[in-house]
């Protein structure tokens, strides 16, 4: 129960921060990307703050022997760059730039009753399914539903 409550509290703080910072507003996000036009640098401070919190968090995690609410740590082990990572990053950035919604910033605004976040979430889900399907084809597996 404590694990669920802590996850809820963390999600609530994250979502509140997204909404207060403006990361849930696609116009503000798109203005951040428009360096040659109506550039709004304020989101750089939001991202810088997130990097600072992450750096401190990782330092604390690496000092712990065991996590508080799990049996082990889930830290990345791969350090190489492959085409899946580079291509996925490019598609992620293009989608963020086109829609103005980062997936992290999309989740808190899904409940606001606007159509744009729902369309973006549907496009993300479709992209995930397409990526899974093409990965199976490349691997020589028969994709589900084919």
Write the DSSP assignment of 28-70 as a string of letters: HHHHHH-TTSS--THHHHHHHHHHHHHHHHHHHHHH-SS-SSS
pLDDT above 70 covers a percentage of the chain that reads: 97
34 in a domain, yes or no?
yes
What pLDDT is attached to residue 9? 93
102 in a domain, yes or no?
yes
132 in a domain, yes or no?
yes
Three-state secondary-structure class, residue 23: coil
Helices (H) and strands (E) in the chain, counts: 6, 0
Task: Compute the mean pLDDT over every residue in the chain, rounded to the nearest whole number.
Answer: 86
25 in a domain, yes or no?
yes
Find the mean pLDDT for residues 9-32.
86
143 in a domain, yes or no?
no
Find the mean pLDDT for residues 96-117.
85
145 in a domain, yes or no?
no
Residue at token pair 């798109």:
30
30-76: per-residue pLDDT in tens?
888 888 999 889 888 988 998 999 999 889 888 988 888 888 888 78
Two tokens at 109? 């605004």
Burial status of residue 131 (CB atoms within 10 A of its CB: 0-12, 13-18, 19 or more): middle
146 in a domain, yes or no?
no
Domain count, the chain: 1
144 in a domain, yes or no?
no
| Predicted confidence band of residue 22 (pLDDT cuts 50, 70, 90) | confident
Two tokens at 124? 């993300």
Structural domain span for residue 73? 2-138
Residue at token pair 């808190």:
108
pLDDT above 90 covers a percentage of the chain that reads: 18
Higher pLDDT, 121 or 69: 121
The answer to whether residue 140 scores a pLDDT higher than 70 is yes
């Amino acid at each position: 129960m404590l694990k669920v409550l802590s996850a809820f509290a963390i999600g609530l703080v994250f979502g509140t921060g997204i909404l207060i910072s403006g990361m849930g507003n696609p116009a503000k996000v798109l203005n951040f990307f428009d360096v040659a036009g109506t550039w709004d640098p304020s989101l750089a401070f939001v991202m810088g703050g997130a990097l600072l919190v992450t750096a401190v968090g990782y330092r604390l995690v690496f000092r712990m022997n065991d996590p508080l609410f799990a049996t082990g740590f889930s830290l990345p082990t791969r350090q190489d760059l492959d085409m899946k990572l580079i291509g996925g990053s490019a598609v992620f950035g293009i989608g963020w730039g086109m829609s103005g919604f980062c997936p992290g910033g999309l989740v808190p605004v899904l409940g606001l009753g606007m159509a744009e976040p729902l369309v973006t979430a549907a496009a993300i889900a479709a992209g995930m399914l397409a990526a899974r399907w093409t990965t199976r084809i490349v691997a020589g597996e028969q994709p589900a539903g084919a």
